[in-house]
A and B are shown apart, each in its own frame.
Chain A
Amino acid sequence: MPMREEDKFADDFKKALEGAKMDPGPVVWAEIESKLRHRQKRFWQGKAWLLVILLGIGLGLSLQKFSSPLRRGAAMPTQNGKVLVPNHSASFWGIMTQPRLEKHTVPRQSQTEPPLSFSQKSPPPPFSIEFRANPPKNFSQKAGNTFLLPLRENSAPEDYEKAPATPAPSQNQAQYLAAALPSWGAFPLPLSNPASRHWPQDTLQSPKAPKKQSRIPKSPWTVALAFGYQQFKPHLQQDYARYLARYLNAHQLTNIPTEQFFASLDEKTQSRFSFSALVQVAYQISTRWQLRTGLTYQHWQMTQQTNAYFIDRASQKPYAFISQLSAQDIQTDNLARSLRSLPGYNPNGLNLLNLNHLNENKSLQLEISYQYLSLPLEVGYVVGRHQRWSHSLWGGTSLDLFLQAKYQNPHLGSEKRLTLLENKAYRNVSMSLRMAWQSAYQLRPSLSLYAQPFFQQSLFARNQSDAYLRFAPFSFGLEGGIQWKF
């Protein structure tokens, strides 16, 4: 440290001020503790989400692995004890990209081993099967019983036209294929193809095989309608103690035993039936990635109950803090009316109310509902597909527009509405973070049903005043709906 000049004045101050101690009061620790608890909670929540995501990805990858026809091919015995395992880089209903054919030798366990789980009645195929999405132009027929099977996507009939005709399968082979192919997502050659002329028509009418193939949707757009149920936690108490402490300090209400007050403060908020209704439009960017937006109407309901009162040390009378801020006055409607007539009434803050004077010492109960219109923007990743099921992970943000808040006091039978135009207590626009896991079941190629558990967290307080109650709710829920693909 550089040499400092002699300064008696500074030294005197230093002697007087350094090493002094002051009591910060109980509120600071209470707040530190609450924030530590909150951080700890968020830490565990973060870990839980990470675990869910990792499990989701793992599940998706395993689904993808097991849903591949390659896997099934590997279990198929052939005449010479070898199986042909086509190694495709995409799942059976995905776009077939680089199909390669690799030979693997799998030891045969038994001659009578059942072929596959999809049809126990089907006899073991006495032939090998080769999958080719895009057969090469110089394709030549292999020796033995080899079938060329175009897959659902990327099948190119014109390529087939150029390929030499495949020999007709035997009755057993044809039955086997008819039963097996739909579950593999593959189709026999179209009847218009010269190669299929030799196929026995009746064997293609398997009960499992679709008689008529629907139009396969090509457009990347999807529209969805859904309805959801959610549970939300409003985080109302976070800064309550702080707010009251500030008020006490500002008004120098030193005779109030704040420790006792905070110790006996028992504010409960309970979520009631809350729901959302949404219309969404999704755009498929690639086979895996999607974007979606739309409109969501959210209706949150909760009950707030508090015993916010204390005993004044000087007078030994019970007092309550009654807030006159914004719409909270409905909470104590008749009390507030009496309060206004009292001397020293503060219309813009908390007021001390002698409960004995008003003969009112019941806990205060308030039913609150919030209505928001949200505009979400989310990115989705298709984690896995298995037969008709598709699973994806969604994440993004949502802009939430405040529509209305309604306050009801069931005890007093009073009600107050706070609409967008007259609202001063809440931010008109706030933002949330959303994450969801979607599982969709394809009823038809263009129609799916889906369900998605989701988590939503407000990014900042939805009410205007940072010093007052912090309303930054998070919610868990389940949405279910229907999707159309164009």
Chain B
Amino acid sequence: MLSSKNSPEKINLRECSSRAAMRDESLLVEGCRKGKRRKQRELYEHYSPYMFAVAMRYAPSRLDAEDILQEAFLKVFEHIGTFRGDCPLEFWIKRIVINTALNHNRRKHVAYSFQDVAEIENLVPDVELTLSHYNFTELLGFVQKLPERCRLVFNLYAIEGYGHREIAEMLEITEGTSKSQYARAKLLLQEMIKENERVSYADARGR
């Protein structure tokens, strides 16, 4: 007997909605290719909240994130003709946002002066920290407070899931530097969280 989760009706409904979404997406892409402003706006409104959160992770401030988002969407509209549809549109746009964020950082700091801080890696204690009671804004605040290079490596490794070798190629650094920057980011984040917890605890006791 089929479970309700796998019932043919459910599958058909899911397939239908997925097909409808794909059709909508291809219509949106087609409209953007033709330069229709309404379709461009629809695409922007659909994807911008998600992409803005991505940009916020890579940028030190909201204004920088706005710049990244703006630049990325201009690139999206310019190069939408090259989108072949072999991956979801969302991934394609996200990739552009990340590349734009990396370029943005590269422009701000003419050359990355990544220092090898390999020794830190060994000093990072394996601390069990619970993040469940932090909301998105608080965690984003911690990430934004990280130094520029640590933030890039942390985002690419921990959130996007790239390996250190890929990150090294993307940022034109060595694999070792990528690892050490990640370790440093982790250490700084742990310190920030601990400090935050200490302040919260002190506040609670003060009351």
Contacts and interface: CB of A to CB of B under 8 A. Distances in A.
Interface of A: 1-4, 7-14, 16-25, 27-29, 31-33, 35-36, 40, 246, 249
Most chain B CB neighbours (cut-off 10 Å) among A2, A7, A16, A23: A16
A33 B37 contact: yes
B201 interface: no
B62 A23 contact: no
B159 A21 contact: no
A28 B53 contact: no
Contacts of A23: 49, 52
B158 A2 contact: no
Given A1-B166, A9-B190, A20 B53 contact: yes
Interface of B: 35, 37, 40-41, 44-45, 48-50, 52-53, 56-57, 62-63, 65-66, 69-70, 73-74, 77, 128-129, 131-132, 134, 136, 139-140, 143, 157-159, 161-163, 165-166, 186, 189-190
Contact of A29 (B41, B56, B131, B189): B41
Contact of B131 (A12, A31, A249): A12
Contacts of A17: 53, 57, 136, 139-140, 143, 159
Contact of A20 (B65, B136, B157): B136
Given A12-B131, A19-B50, A24-B69, A32 B74 contact: yes
A12 B53 CA distance: 17
Contacts, number: 97
Most chain B CB neighbours (cut-off 10 Å) among A22, A23, A27: A22
A249 B159 contact: no
Given A24-B69, A32-B70, A13 B48 contact: no
A248 to B, nearest CB: 11
A4 B161 contact: yes
Contacts of B57: 17
B73 to A, nearest CB: 5
B49 A24 contact: yes
Contacts of B157: 10
A348 to B, nearest CB: 18
A233 B166 CA distance: 48
Contacts of A28: 48, 52, 66, 69-70, 73
A7 B164 CA distance: 14
Nearest to A37: B37
Contacts of A19: 50
Nearest to B190: A9
A22 B70 contact: no
Contacts of A22: 49, 52-53, 56
B63 A246 contact: yes
Given A13-B189, A23-B49, 6 more contacts: A1-B161, A8-B128, A13-B143, A13-B158, A17-B140, A17-B159
Nearest to A23: B49
A29 B57 CA distance: 20
B134 A16 contact: yes
A32 B163 contact: no
Contacts of B129: 9, 12
Contacts of A31: 70
Contact of B165 (A2, A14, A246): A2
B69 A13 contact: no
Contact of A36 (B40, B50, B139, B163): B40
B162 to A, nearest CB: 7
Nearest to B76: A32
A476 B48 CA distance: 39
